[in-house]
Structure formats: C-alpha cells, structure tokens
C-alpha cells in the first residue's frame, strides 16, 4: 500500500515509505507495528535536497513521491546521507541513476561505506561533511553535526538552520507505521508507540548510551539552535516529532542513564557430580569474606535468561562448567554468548570448572569471555575431577581476590 507525500513545513516534505510487512528488525527484534523509512525533500533557492533514501525495494515509490513534489523536469541537487545503513541508503543507487548530477553529502565514514552499499559510481560528486560542515543554499543553511556511534561510526545530524528543524536519522526513531506520521496525530496509539520506542532504543541505542547523552547535550548547546523552539525532528523510522519534542528528548535522556550496578557477584554453574558446585560454593565464601554479596544459580534448576536478568544490575559474574564431551555446558555458554563487549566490558567476569582429562570446558568458555574485554582480576580456574583441600583453599583465595577487585574499584569511585 502506498502512502501520500506529506508537508512537514512549507518547503519540507516527507517522501518516505510505509513498510507494514516488517515483522522483525536486525534479525532478532520483533516489529509488531511495521515501520517506515523516512526520506525528506527540501526545496531551497539553490536547489532541491533529499535527506536519506529508503530501503532498496521501495526505491520506485520514493522516486514517485519525489516527482510529485518537484515534477518530472526538476532535479535533486543534493542527497544528504546522515547514516549509511542500507535501510536508509539502499535506494541511493536508483535515485542517483535518475538524478546523476546530485551531490552526495555525508561523513568520511559514510562515504566510505557507500562504496560498498549499492556500489555507487566513482565519478559521483560528493561533499565530505567532516571537512565541509555547512552548506549555503541561499534562503536555507544546512549544518552538519558529526555524531559518531549514534549508532554507527558514520552518523551525523543535520540542522536546517532557518527552519529550526533537525534531521536525526535513527536518533529518536522507532519502528512504527501509521499513515498519520506525526507524533501529535497518533496519541490514540500512545501506549504502543511508547513501548516500541523503548524497545527500539534498547536494542539499537542501548550499547551506545553515552553517545546518546553526548548527542543530546550537543543539541542543547548548539550555537544558533534552540531545542525549545525546534519545529520538527525528522527521524528516519516512525513518526516525525513536532508535538512532543521535549518529552521525547527527555525520555531518551532518561533511558540513556548509565545503570547503577550493585556490588554483587552472580555465580552460575552446572555440575554432574558436584565438583564444579563445590568449587562454586567455596569461591562464593571467598567473595563473601570481603563483604561482597553473592547470588548462586545452579543451571539445572534455572535458565540462562534468569541468570542474565539477575546479572543485569550486578558488577560481577562467574560462570562454572565441567567439561562434557570436549566442551563447556551449552547453557553456560549461552549465558556468555548473550553478553556483549560494548555492554559488559566494564564488568568483572571470569570462569572456573572441573574436568576429567582434556578440560576444554573452561578453555572454550574463557575464549568467549576474553572477547568481552571485561575486567578479569583472576585467571580462569580449573580443577582435575574432585577438588581436594589445596584446591579448595585456592578457590577461596580466588573468590576473595575477585571480590576484592570489585570492592577496591568501588572505594576508588
Ligand atoms: C558425559 C560426560 C562426558 C565427559 N567428557 C569429558 C571430556 O570430554 N573431557 C574431560 O576432560 N572430561 C570429561 N568428562 C568428565 C567431567 O568433566 C569430570 O567428571 C568433571 O569432574 C565433572 O565435574 P562436575 O561434577 O562438576 O560435573 C565427562 C563427563 C561426563 C559425565
């Protein structure tokens, strides 16, 4: 189903598309309300400017809408690519084919990526916004504000100065398709919009919270721009913001606050004969001896999800596994695979376990844990079969050292 061109403000039009069929995004996350790929067309004294394109399969619909605004004869002079992810740049090639004289305006990193997305021709005119930070279009000036990691290294925000409008690409976006397209027109779906906005924030921007806070601060202190008088935030998915800009910015700021982590260690383990379990209990005693709280999970009676939920607001995690047929226990490996270097590199994470002969369990698990680049005040701890008195003393000291590292960091802060 095609949608209509919408006027955002005089001279600025939405020429994006609706994607009601989208069921999931980024492979993993449900998109229960579909999505939109927002592209905007700005008419100025010195030419027509297109902000973002749309997903490749919607190129013709976007081209039709562009023609509805500028007619068959007029041309696109500039295409601003605030972020080169294919859902925004996928139609760049067909649009450049139709408007071969358009200049592509993007950051160094985005221009670089565009060589590998749609493989645009080498002779296309470009402006690198890391060097050229402004564009004078007569009655309108564009200011390019490079904001890497919102949410790729290539991202920028464009300020349409005279209109007091921000084009933010994925920042302040969400996957939500509604033909009314403006935040103040969809208040009857407020709860759905809020819920999917939070999910989108978490999945896409969750790993980049400090960049979100930096980005918001930058917008609030941008010379010549007043967020209070901002007329619209033209994001790249879901409703355009115009009625509730302040509220949305405040929500994003609130969601982006760093988690407050407890001085607590979660220990999750599996154990066939109780050997890894004995290690776990002794390690826990060592941790508690320095005043750090511990919570224990035997994976036989709980799930990886519950362990991850418990660890969500804790500083430390220890994973225990025996070696079973040349590997670690899958459920314990699953916990490690659900951790992420961007999200968990500031935490304390290590592993331990018992084995019979070859001992790959702890080795394989620790290979994954090293990829997280988390803090590891102790080396992985292995034990051949049943831990004896000496090994138990080692477990106690190992736990104590792990707990002390958490305590010392807390005292330093
Ligand atoms: C089904 C099964 C397969 C095993 N495979 C291995 C193996 O490939 N390599 C190894 O070092 N030990 C292997 N073991 C031995 C255990 O790792 C060892 O008994 C360990 O001490 C068990 O610790 P737990 O009581 O904490 O489970 C295996 C044990 C079982 C029950």
Q: What's the pLDDT tens digit per position in 103-125?
A: 999 999 999 999 998 777 788 99
Question: Would you say domain 6-255 falls under CATH 3.60.15.10?
Answer: yes
Q: Give residue 71's pLDDT.
A: 97
Calpha distance 73→266 (Å, rounded): 66
Q: Give residue 118's pLDDT.
A: 79
Residue 1 has pLDDT above 80, yes or no: no
- Tell me the pLDDT band of 68, cut-offs 50, 70 and 90: very high
Question: Domain spans of the chain?
Answer: 6-255, 262-405
Residue 185 Cα to ligand 1 midpoint, Å, equals 61
Which tops the pLDDT comparison, 71 or 413? 71
Residue 272 Cα to ligand 1 midpoint, Å, equals 8
Residue 304 Cα to ligand 1 midpoint, Å, equals 21
Residue that is written with structure tokens 């994470």 in the block: 349
Beta strands in 107-236, from DSSP E residues, in sequence order = 126-128, 134-136, 141-146, 156-160, 165-169, 232-235
Question: Would you say domain 262-405 falls under CATH 3.40.710.10?
Answer: no
- Tell me the pLDDT band of 259, cut-offs 50, 70 and 90: confident
Q: In sequence order, what are the residues at sequence separation of 6 or more whose Cβ sits closer than 8 angstroms to the Cβ of residue 19?
A: 34, 35, 36, 37, 55, 58, 177
Ligand 1 atom nearest to CA at 355: 17
Residue 259 per-residue DSSP state = P
- Alpha-carbon distances, residue 127 vs 15, 107, 132 (angstroms): 23, 8, 7
Helix ranges (H only) for 2-74 are 59-70
Q: Is 384 in the pocket of ligand 1 (CB under 6 A)?
A: no
Q: What's the pLDDT tens digit per position in 243-258?
A: 999 999 999 999 999 9
% of the chain surpassing 70 pLDDT: 100
Mean pLDDT of the chain: 97
Ligand 1 atom nearest to CA at 385: 21
Q: Is 364 in the pocket of ligand 1 (CB under 6 A)?
A: no
Q: What's the pLDDT tens digit per position in 192-225?
A: 999 999 999 999 999 999 999 999 999 999 998 9
Ligand 1 atom nearest to CA at 383: 21
In terms of Cα–Cα distance, which of 359, 260, 355, 362 is closest to 318?
362
Q: Is 363 in the pocket of ligand 1 (CB under 6 A)?
A: no
Q: Give residue 2's pLDDT.
A: 64
Across 130-156, average pLDDT = 97
Q: What six digits make up the tokens of 147?
A: 């904001």
Q: Is 33 in the pocket of ligand 1 (CB under 6 A)?
A: no
Q: Is 225 in the pocket of ligand 1 (CB under 6 A)?
A: no
Q: Is 322 in the pocket of ligand 1 (CB under 6 A)?
A: yes
- Alpha-carbon distances, residue 54 vs 20, 31, 61, 170, 174 (angstroms): 14, 17, 9, 13, 15
Q: Give residue 369's pLDDT.
A: 98
Q: Is 5 in the pocket of ligand 1 (CB under 6 A)?
A: no
Q: How many CB atoms lie within 10 A of CB 291?
A: 11
Phi, psi of 57 (to 5 degrees): -70, -10
Beta strands in 58-110, from DSSP E residues, in sequence order = 78-80, 103-106
Calpha distance 328→110 (Å, rounded): 41
Q: What's the pLDDT tens digit per position in 146-175?
A: 999 999 999 999 999 999 999 999 999 999
Ligand 1 atom nearest to CA at 359: 11
Question: Measured at the alpha carbon of residue 283, what is the angle toward residues 282 and 288, in degrees to the nearest 5?
Answer: 95
Q: What's the pLDDT tens digit per position in 36-59?
A: 999 999 999 999 999 999 999 999
Q: Give residue 184's pLDDT.
A: 98
Calpha distance 135→137 (Å, rounded): 6
ipTM attached to this prediction: 0.99
Determine which residue's CA is closest to atom 29 belonging to ligand 1.
Answer: 324
Q: What six digits make up the tokens of 377?
A: 């005040």
Residue 276 Cα to ligand 1 midpoint, Å, equals 10
Q: Is 326 in the pocket of ligand 1 (CB under 6 A)?
A: yes
Residue 117 per-residue DSSP state = S
Q: Give residue 122's pLDDT.
A: 81
Q: What six digits make up the tokens of 317?
A: 């995690």
Determine which residue's CA is closest to atom 25 belonging to ligand 1.
Answer: 273
Each residue of 216-227: b (16+ CB within 10 Å) or e? beebeeeeebeb
Count the residues in the chain: 413
% of the chain surpassing 90 pLDDT: 96
């Amino acid at each position: 189903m095609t949608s209509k061109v919408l006027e955002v403000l005089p001279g600025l039009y939405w020429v994006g598309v609706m994607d009601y069929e989208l069921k999931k995004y980024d492979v993993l996350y449900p998109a229960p309300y579909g999505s939109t790929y927002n592209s905007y067309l700005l008419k100025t004294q010195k030419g027509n400017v297109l902000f973002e394109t749309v997903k490749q399969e919607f190129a013709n619909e976007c081209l039709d809408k562009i023609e509805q605004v500028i007619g068959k004869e007029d041309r696109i002079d500039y295409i601003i690519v605030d972020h080169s992810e294919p859902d925004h740049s996928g139609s760049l090639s067909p649009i450049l084919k139709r408007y071969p004289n358009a200049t592509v305006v993007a950051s160094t990193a985005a221009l670089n990526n565009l060589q590998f997305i749609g493989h645009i021709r080498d002779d296309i005119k470009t402006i690198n916004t890391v060097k050229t930070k402004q564009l004078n279009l007569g009655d309108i000036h564009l200011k390019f504000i490079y904001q890497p990691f919102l949410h790729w290294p290539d991202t920028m925000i464009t300020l349409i100065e005279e209109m007091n409008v921000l084009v933010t690409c994925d920042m302040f976006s969400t996957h939500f398709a509604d033909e009314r397209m403006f935040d103040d027109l969809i208040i009857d779906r407020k709860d759905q919009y809020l819920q999917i906005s939070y999910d989108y924030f978490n999945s896409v921007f969750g790993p980049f919270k400090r960049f979100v806070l930096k980005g918001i601060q930058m917008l609030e202190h941008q010379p010549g721009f007043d967020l209070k008088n901002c007329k619209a935030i033209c994001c790249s998915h879901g409703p355009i913001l115009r009625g509730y800009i302040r509220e949305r910015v405040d929500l994003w700021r609130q969601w982006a606050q760093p988690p407050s982590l407890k001085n607590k260690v979660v220990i999750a383990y599996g154990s066939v004969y109780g050997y890894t379990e004995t290690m776990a209990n002794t390690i826990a005693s060592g941790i508690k001896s320095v005043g750090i709280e511990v919570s224990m999970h035997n994976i036989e009676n709980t799930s990886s999800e519950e362990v991850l939920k418990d660890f969500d607001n804790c500083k430390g995690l220890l994973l225990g596994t025996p070696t079973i047929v040349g590997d670690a226990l899958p459920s314990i490996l699953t916990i490690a695979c659900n951790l992420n270097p961007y999200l968990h590199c500031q935490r304390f994470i290590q592993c331990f376990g018992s084995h019979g002969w070859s001992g790959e369990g702890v080795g394989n698990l620790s290979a994954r844990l090293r990829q997280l680049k988390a803090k590891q005040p102790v080396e992985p701890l292995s034990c051949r079969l049943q831990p004896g008195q000496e090994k138990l003393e080692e477990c106690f000291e190992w736990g104590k050292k792990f707990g002390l590292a958490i305590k010392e960091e807390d005292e330093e802060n």
